[in-house]
């Protein structure tokens, strides 16, 4: 007869299971609340950049900041350290969320993920095509990827304003779609917005990845142990010509999604925080800092568009603004709904339970809130200050319009009788 399973094992399993079950709820809660903080930061940046203190706003982000030890010193502007440094932590959380969703979330089952993937790809292609229709020639065509992204925090935050009437699967579908959007955005940045490759940088990045793998093989469970290897990967990608923030995605995707095995002789020890999967544990630790610190600071540093300095009458600036605006507000919902309809009509797909076509339109409209990732791509796409300002203004206007239209549609759709808002999978 086999030995009875000790009670501490049940306790440990239950504790791990409960943490896993709460992961999505925590993520959505933080994203919803941080959307408000992000909105406040963006509004403050706009007011500051268009106030009598505007010179101080621009001077602040150009202040030189020195980081380094001994002979290894790097001097860059505060703006650089926010966009290329702190945003690496943002991309690290994105990478871990993608990794977790691929393991046991919306992306773990290809059949379940097929419709969100198709919808997300439609929501990327349609805005890009609309943008290119207005910006077919250089230099403005470089911004084709700006309207392809969805801001998870803003979108989830606006959806939360509609209250508990929103079906749970609508939230999950929007989250899955936004995560796939992030995957596509990361690939676009890596493939289309990176400079010439430097072999030395590739060697440095490979060495950093090797250190991460070595630490994993040794069973290092503390996140602090990976800070130095992560910094090596960051420096390597910077030298390589790939945007260094992508090092966060690389490290996030390499983070284990299963609890680290206990050392011999510790089987009877009570549960500890390290019994939780590193991917979940580190994401929970970093997510609030990213949501309430890194992202608002990024918004404060980059959303300050001087409205007096944007010449929307100039043909190039006007085309960029219009392409970004229509790409997000019109292209996103049309692309998402149209491709979903094709996948269901001809591909055998089905809408998730509780998600009606009206709910899918709500998802598509809110996906037009681009903000963080769209502004990030805009800064990679344009060196010209006038074009960059026009792109940022287009992103801001589109995000506000998409949020307002989405709220209006959501209010009308969710107050409709149940028989008219039922799920239609035909």
> Which residues in the chain come in under a pLDDT of 70?
1-28, 31-32, 68, 70-71, 105-106, 195-198, 260-275, 309, 416-426
Q: Are 305 and 46 in contact (CB under 8 A)?
A: yes
- Position 269 scores a pLDDT of 52
HEC profile of the chain: CCCCCCHHHHHHHHHHHHHHHHHHHHHHHHHHHHHHHHHHHHHHHHHHHCCCCHHHHHHHHCCEEEEEECCEEEEEEHHHHHHHHHHHHHHHHHHHHHHHHHHHCCCCCHHHHHHHHHHHHHHHHHHHHHHHHHCCCCCHHHHCCHHHCCCHHHHHHHHHCCHHHCCHHHHHHHHHHHHHHHHHHHHHHHHHCCCCCCHHHHHHHHHHHHHHHHHHHHCCCCHHHHHHHHHHHHHHHHHHCCCCCHHHHHHHHHCCCCCCCCCCCCCCCCCCHHHCCHHHHHHHHHHHHHHHHHHHHHHHHHCCCCHHHCCCCCHHHHHHHHHHHHHHHHHHHHHHHHHHHHHHHHHCCCCCCCCCHHHHHHHHHHCCCCHHHHHHHHHHHCCCHHHHHHHHHHHHHHHHHHHHHHHHHHHHHHCCCCCCCCCCCC
- Position 273 scores a pLDDT of 53
Burial of 92 per CB tally in 10 Å (0-12, 13-18, 19+): buried
Domain ranges within the chain, ordered by starting residue: 7-194+243-259+274-414
- Position 420 scores a pLDDT of 45
Dist CA 149 CA 117 (whole Å): 14
Q: Are 178 and 332 in contact (CB under 8 A)?
A: no
| The length of the chain, given as a count of residues | 426
- Position 187 scores a pLDDT of 86
**Rounded-to-10 torsion of CA 219, 225, 227, 233:** -40
Q: Measured in Å, how far apart are the chain's first and last C-alpha atoms?
A: 54
Just give the CATH number of 7-194+243-259+274-414. 1.20.1530.10
At 63-83, the pLDDT tens digits run 988 876 766 777 888 988 998
Residues β-bridged to residue 77? 64
- Position 8 scores a pLDDT of 40
Residue identified by tokens 């090092």 is 247
Q: Are 58 and 78 in contact (CB under 8 A)?
A: no
Q: Are 262 and 221 in contact (CB under 8 A)?
A: no
413, 406, 412: which is closest to 158 by C-alpha? 406
Q: Measure Cα distances from 57 to 50, 78, 107, 119, 303 in Å.
A: 9, 12, 42, 39, 11
- Position 27 scores a pLDDT of 66
Percent of the chain with pLDDT over 70: 84
């Amino acid at each position: 007869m086999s030995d009875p399973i000790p009670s501490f094992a049940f306790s440990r399993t239950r504790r791990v299971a409960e943490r896993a079950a709460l992961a999505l709820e925590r993520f959505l809660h933080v994203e919803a609340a941080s959307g408000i903080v992000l909105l406040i930061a963006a509004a403050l940046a706009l007011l500051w950049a268009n106030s009598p203190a505007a010179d101080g706003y621009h001077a602040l982000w150009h202040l030189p900041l020195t980081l380094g030890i001994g002979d290894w010193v790097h001097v860059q502007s505060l703006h650089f350290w926010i966009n290329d440094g702190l945003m690496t932590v943002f991309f690290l959380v994105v990478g871990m969320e993608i990794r977790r969703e691929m393991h046991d979330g919306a992306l773990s089952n290809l059949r379940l993920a097929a419709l969100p993937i198709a919808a997300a790809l439609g929501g990327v292609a349609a805005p890009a095509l609309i943008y290119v229709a207005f910006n077919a020639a250089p230099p403005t065509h470089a911004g084709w990827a700006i309207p392809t992204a969805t801001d998870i925090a803003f979108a989830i935050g606006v959806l939360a304003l509609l209250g508990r009437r929103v079906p749970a699967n609508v939230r999950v579908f929007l989250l899955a779609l936004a995560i796939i959007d992030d995957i596509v955005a990361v690939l676009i940045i890596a493939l289309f917005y990176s400079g010439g490759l430097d072999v030395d940088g590739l060697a440095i990045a490979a060495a950093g990845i090797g250190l991460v793998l070595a630490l994993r093989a040794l069973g290092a469970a503390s996140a602090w142990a990976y800070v130095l290897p992560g910094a090596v990967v960051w420096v390597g990608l910077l030298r390589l010509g790939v945007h260094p923030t992508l090092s966060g995605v690389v490290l996030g995707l390499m983070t284990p999604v299963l609890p680290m095995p206990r050392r011999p002789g510790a089987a009877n020890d009570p549960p500890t925080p390290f019994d939780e999967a590193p991917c979940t544990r580190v994401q929970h630790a970093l997510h609030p800092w990213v949501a309430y610190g890194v992202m608002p600071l990024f918004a404060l540093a980059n959303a300050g568009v001087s409205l007096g300095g944007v010449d929307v009458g100039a043909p190039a600036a006007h085309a960029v603004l219009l392409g970004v605006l229509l790409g997000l507000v019109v292209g996103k919902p049309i692309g998402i709904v149209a491709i979903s309809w094709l996948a269901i009509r001809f591909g055998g797909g089905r809408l998730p339970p509780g998600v009606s076509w009206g709910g899918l339109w709500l998802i598509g409209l809110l996906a037009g809130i681009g903000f963080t990732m769209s502004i990030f791509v805009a800064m990679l796409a344009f060196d010209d200050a006038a074009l960059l300002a026009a792109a940022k203004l287009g992103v801001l206007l589109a995000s506000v319009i998409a949020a307002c239209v989405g709220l209006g549609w959501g209010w009308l759709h969710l107050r409709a009788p149940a028989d008219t808002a039922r799920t239609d999978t035909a």
